[in-house]
Structure 1
Amino acid sequence: APRTLTRAVQQVTGRTAKAYIVERIVLEAKRLLAHERVTAARCASELGFPDPSNFSLFFLNATGLRPGAWQAATIPD
């Protein structure tokens, strides 16, 4: 049940289940963008987002940057 999951995750991590899941998805997205150097659209697909624009908005809300901007700022040329 959602409440049971949230309670268990909160006991271990101090965060809600949703916050923990968002953190893990963002971490994996950053790994794909930085180390695999995939496009934002490919990253969205690999993470199961139905549309690249949904992923871009999710990433923007979580990090303050669009995936392409984060990738450009993180990866040196």
Structure 2
Amino acid sequence: MRGDAPIVVHRPSSTGGRRVTARGQILGLAYDDADLIEFLRRAGLPAGDELLDDEAWVEWRGGQAHRYDVP
């Protein structure tokens, strides 16, 4: 189901943080899970730790889930 998730957490940037989009709209640059949850809450989406690991909702691209720095 890859590519169908409405929320995408993009690869870590070279300066840290990950761009977050919801259905193609940029929500912001997250530096940790708390930032990500806040972006989802502000967008009116269900926000909680359990949602972040639900592949139907969130796709983590180009890096390990829950990691926001460049390896």
TM-score in terms of structure 1 length: 0.35
Determine which structure has the larger helix proportion and give its number. Answer: 1
Q: Could you say which structure has the larger radius of gyration?
A: 1
Determine which structure has the larger strand proportion and give its number. Answer: 2
TM-score in terms of structure 2 length: 0.37
Higher RCO (Cα < 8 Å, 6 or more apart): 2
